[in-house]
């Protein structure tokens, strides 16, 4: 294990994904969401295939025994991606990312309901506090003033899409957990990108806009960044435990604040900062609590194995 390398790769993946989101934000208000999803997914396949080929694992890494499972993950992940990109077109970069922090909290709930995982009181309390933070972040967008132009337009729609996207992404995470029992990482990522590309391409019937050379280059860049970010994210878990890596997910807010200010001149409101801080703190508490429980279980197993006759 090389925890410093794992942490470095995780922080770098957070930066790359935020750069991807910032790049797409320059396009989401001018192109249909389905078209954005297509280019982001299709061009992400290129670095993934190059990485698998470099590792000498191109054929074996793409074998699958669970086509239905990949399809379910593809539906959920593509929906989450589409909702997230819609949110980007209406919200500042840091706001859209901050509201997306609800996803890990929703995963806890879905894991209890769908995977029958045992969730202790500490985690339920943390989830409840975390949702208070989410509601604080949503509050500026769900006032009577923001609905003046209609619920399906403007910042209110962006905030709702960001929150619903967090639900879809959480469902996709649960499906990924199921897939990891039989599928390799390369296959899980590859078939998701393929399905997302195929599903989003079907939206061409609703009318796409032909990108000019500059916008096409930005689409390609965003897709490649997405693929590289996925590779970095996959690799970071080879060098450090999940409990060590997970807290550094929240570095995305640092990158989002910097890029939002530099590229779009956006500065976060105190409400967003307070809400995001609460959600991040509860996420960190859950990670810390689970790490302690893991260490306690390891000690119990060690003591049990040292008993006579064990």
Please tell me the distance from the alpha carbon of residue 86 to that of residue 96, in angstroms, as a whole number: 10
| Confidence (pTM) | 0.85
Report the interhelical angle of 121-138 vs 102-114 (nearest 10°).
140
- Regions of the chain short of the pLDDT cut 50: none
Rg, C-alpha atoms of the chain:
20
Q: Which residues contact 118 (CB under 8 A, 6 or more apart)?
A: 112
Q: 241 vs 3, 5, 235, CA distance in Å?
A: 8, 12, 12
pLDDT at 77: 92
pLDDT at 186: 85
Retrieve residue 185's tokens.
């990482």
Domain boundaries, the chain: 3-306
Summarised one tens digit per residue, pLDDT across range 69-92 is 999 999 999 999 999 999 999 999
Closest C-alpha to 105, from 173, 13, 21: 173
Summarised one tens digit per residue, pLDDT across range 43-53 is 999 999 998 88
pLDDT at 203: 95
Contact 236, 52 (CB under 8 A): no
pLDDT at 84: 94
């Amino acid at each position: 294990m090389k925890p410093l390398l794992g942490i470095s790769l995780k922080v770098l993946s957070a930066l790359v994904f935020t750069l991807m989101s910032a790049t797409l934000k320059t396009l989401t208000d001018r192109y249909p969401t389905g078209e954005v999803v297509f280019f982001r997914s299709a061009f992400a396949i290129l670095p993934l295939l190059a990485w698998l080929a470099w590792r000498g694992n191109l054929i074996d890494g793409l074998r699958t025994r669970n086509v239905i499972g990949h399809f379910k993950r593809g539906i959920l992940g593509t929906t989450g991606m589409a909702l997230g990109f819609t949110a980007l077109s209406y919200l500042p970069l840091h706001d859209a990312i901050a509201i997306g922090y609800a996803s890990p909290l929703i995963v806890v709930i879905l894991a209890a309901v769908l995977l029958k995982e045992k969730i202790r009181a500490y985690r339920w309390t943390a989830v409840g506090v975390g949702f208070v933070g989410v509601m604080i972040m949503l509050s500026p967008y769900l006032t009577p003033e923001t609905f003046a132009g209609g619920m399906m337009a403007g910042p209110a729609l962006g905030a709702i899409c960001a929150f619903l996207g967090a639900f879809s992404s959480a469902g996709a995470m649960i499906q990924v957990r199921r897939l990891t029992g039989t599928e390799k990482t390369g296959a899980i990522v590859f078939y998701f990108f393929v399905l997302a590309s195929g599903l989003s391409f079907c939206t061409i019937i609703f009318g796409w806009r032909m990108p000019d050379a500059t916008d096409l280059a930005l689409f390609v860049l965003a897709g490649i960044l997405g693929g590289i970010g996925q590779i970095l994210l996959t690799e970071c878990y080879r060098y450090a435990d999940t409990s060590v890596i997970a807290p550094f997910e929240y570095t995305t807010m640092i990158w989002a604040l910097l890029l939002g200010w530099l590229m779009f001149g956006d500065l976060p409101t105190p409400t967003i900062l307070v809400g995001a801080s609460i959600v991040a703190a509860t996420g960190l508490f859950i990670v810390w609590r689970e790490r302690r429980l893991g260490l306690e279980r390891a000690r119990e197993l060690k003591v049990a194995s040292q008993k006579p006759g064990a």
